[in-house]
Amino acid sequence: MITPADERRHPPGPGRDWEESWYLDFVDAGSDLAGFVRLTLRPAEATAWFWAGMVGGGPRLVAVRDHEVPPPVAGGLEVRAPGLWTELVCETALDHWSVGLEAFGVALDDPLEAWGRERGDPCALGLDVEWEGAGPAADWPGEGAGYWQGCTVHGDVLVGAERFALDGAGTRVHRWGDVDRSRATGWAAGRSADGTHFLVADPEVECDAEGRLLTVLGEAPTAHAPVLLPGAGRLDRAVRRAGWAEWFSPSAPA
């Protein structure tokens, strides 16, 4: 059973591959704007990962990827690094979260450059956004511990010099435990046309030879926000009409 205490950080397991992550995304109801943030704690490495991606705000993709963030202290979820400040706050357990973000990302004309040298123009990225539960939190449908919740999402988004008033829907996910990155895996979530929120673990997907998602549950994505995991593989994150999906393709053995 999911309890309010599960919203907090969990005692780390003994394995090197144990991690805990908080993920929140959104799709704006009246535009092509869509984005996500993910904070991952890696206690065995005494570090944290932070990712953010934004599409539809002008550049094809504004990406933030930092795998050397000092971990948060005092039980909170605030992290700082050069060019990055963010805080994830549980306002009301199992109901309401907020995210503040002030960061410099890179604007990429070709999203697949996120799997390459990540060369692009610096671009400011900011969030002052609220996620409010549109229903109860539900157990993660795949392997491992965790849960997810469909949300209504509203707030302000800054992309470069442009400010957007966000009003849409999204998903938040909290997971913890040992992570197996030796196999292809992923999930898709969003809000269907009748207003129902859903999350599907290991959905039916079609990928190209590089690992880019071509279809998810039979639907072609409208935008991509890939993330490279050096030494592990490639993660494609893609926007569909209903919401976000992701698919991890492991690196070939050396």
- Give pLDDT, residue 253: 57
Q: What percent of the chain has pLDDT over 90?
A: 94
Cβ neighbour number for residue 115 with a 10 Å cutoff: 19
Tell me the two tokens of residue 213.
């998602």
Give the pLDDT confidence score for residue 170 in this predicted structure. 98
Q: How confident is the model at residue 241 (pLDDT cuts 50, 70, 90)?
A: confident
Say if residues 21 and 176 touch (Cβ distance below 8 Å): yes
Q: pLDDT tens digit string along 182-201? A: 999 999 999 999 999 999 99
Q: How confident is the model at residue 143 (pLDDT cuts 50, 70, 90)?
A: confident
Alpha-carbon span 87 to 75, nearest angstrom: 12
pLDDT class of 1 with cuts at 50, 70, 90: confident
At residue 254, the pLDDT reads 45
| Dihedral-angle region of residue 13 (phi above 0 means left; psi in -120 to 50 means alpha; beta otherwise) | beta
Its pTM stands at 0.96
Distance CA 29, CA 198 (A): 17
C-alpha angle with apex 241: 61 to 162, nearest 5 degrees?
40
Q: Mean pLDDT over residues 52-65, rounded?
A: 97
Tell me what pLDDT residue 108 has. 97
Q: C-alpha distances in angstroms, 44 versus 134, 149, 151, 234?
A: 35, 28, 32, 22
pLDDT tens digits for 8-21? 999 999 989 999 99
- C-alpha to C-alpha distance for 245 and 224, rounded to whole angstroms: 10
